[in-house]
Amino acid sequence: MSAEDVAGRIRSMEIRGAAEIARRAAIAIREEAEAYQGKDIKELRSLVERSRDLLIASRPTAISLWNGVQYVFKDTSRITSAEDYRAKVMDNADRFVKRSNNALKTIGKHGANRIRDGDKVLTHCNSKAAITVMAEAWAQGKRFEAFCTESRPWRQGVLTANDLAKIGIPATMIIDSAVRYVMKDLDLVLVGADTIASNGAVINKIGTSQVALAADEARVPFTVCAETFKFSPRTIYGEMVKIEERDATEIVGPGEVPPEVRIFNPVFDATPPEYIDSIVTEIGVIPPYAAYQVIVKELGYEFMFNED
């Protein structure tokens, strides 16, 4: 699939999930490089760089996408032949996809230790990382119940309910505004992340911060499941995370409200670190306050400058 196609499908939510969009973007650039038959490195560079920019712009909030794409261009700046450049981009993309898939498996193992027999676990939206943790705990023989929010307006909770049912985990779906009502009976909250800032704030699907508030009030541990490529090197330099706003038509149909009513549709929000018990990553379960160290040690400069 062309990078243009992939970017379009990310924009239309056909391809979604913070890690998935990063992998699909890396694969799209890989395929573009592979298909290039010429010998002109300048031409190849401008071709793949155009795709890079298009893909990055398709979901501005998820740093996973930016990090994934940066990884594809790692150590390419000094390459002088089109052949070597092409091989490097393809190899980097393969490595990124492999690293991402392996990270997910390890997160499953670490996170499963947080679930006990008899627990009631709530998740929000549709996070592959959070669901992998539940799937691993279930495979280990732990027996627990899951609750999933509807996650308006895209209703990704329906996807989650289907994923849970497929695994065999007893699942209850609730509307987003029922979270506080059920929270007092829950034992654990597991959510994913689109971006984790250097101060430990987690940016995830809209409504996540309300879930965190309710969990905090009820003393239920609020746990984030995220690969290290969800941490944002750009926030170290003071950049704010851009919260994507989507079209009003995702909330109201034509003629449902008078035209003078403004519709505001932010699709992500930030949960401050003080509401987060821990972040389950492939390098271990960490406090949100360790975000700065993760960025510097795991990806910081390497991702930022893309140099040899």
DSSP 3-state of 273: helix
Contact pattern from residue 164 through residue 183 relative to ligand RI2, giving x for each residue in contact according to CB under 6 A and a dash for the rest: --------------------
Residue 154 φ/ψ, nearest 5 degrees: -85, -10
| Residues 117, 118, 121, 127, CA torsion sign | positive
Q: What's the min distance (Å) between Cβ of 202 and ligand RI2?
A: 10
Residue of the chain from 6, 17, 29, 275 that contacts ligand RI2 (CB under 6 A) = 17
Residue from 91, 94, 148, 194 carrying the catalytic annotation: 194
What character string, x for contact with ligand RI2 (CB under 6 A) and - otherwise, covers 108-137? -----------------x-xxx--------
**Residues paired with residue 268 on neighbouring β-strands, in sequence order:** 205
For ligand RI2, the binding residues in 146-165 under the rule CB under 6 A are 156
Q: How far apart are CA 302 and CA 228, in angstroms?
A: 13
When asked if residue 16 is in the footprint of ligand RI2 (CB under 6 A), the reply is: yes
From the number of C-beta atoms within 10 Å of its C-beta (0-12, 13-18, 19+), residue 272 rates as middle
| Catalytic site includes residue 194 | yes
- Which of 114, 112, 185 lies closest to 147, judged by CA? 185
Residue nearer to ligand RI2 on the CB measure, 19 or 169: 19
Q: Which is nearer to ligand RI2, 36 or 231 (CB)?
A: 231
Closest CB 18 distance from ligand RI2, rounded Å: 4
Strand 278-281 relative to strand 284-286, pairing: antiparallel
Question: Binding string to ligand RI2 for residues 184 to 203, with x set by CB under 6 A, is what?
Answer: -------xxxx---------
The footprint of ligand RI2 on this chain (CB under 6 A) covers a number of residues equal to 16
Decide whether 204 or 235 has the Cβ nearer to ligand RI2: 204
C-alpha to C-alpha distance for 304 and 243, rounded to whole angstroms: 21
What is the number of other CB atoms lying within 10 angstroms of the CB of residue 246?
Answer: 15
Residue pair 299/228 in contact by the 8 Å Cβ criterion: yes
The three-class DSSP label of residue 43 is: helix
Which range binds ligand RI2 by CB under 6 A, 1-9, 14-22, 68-76, 110-118?
A: 14-22
Catalytic residues: 125, 194
Q: Which residues bind ligand RI2 (CB under 6 A)?
A: 16-20, 125, 127-129, 156, 191-194, 204-205
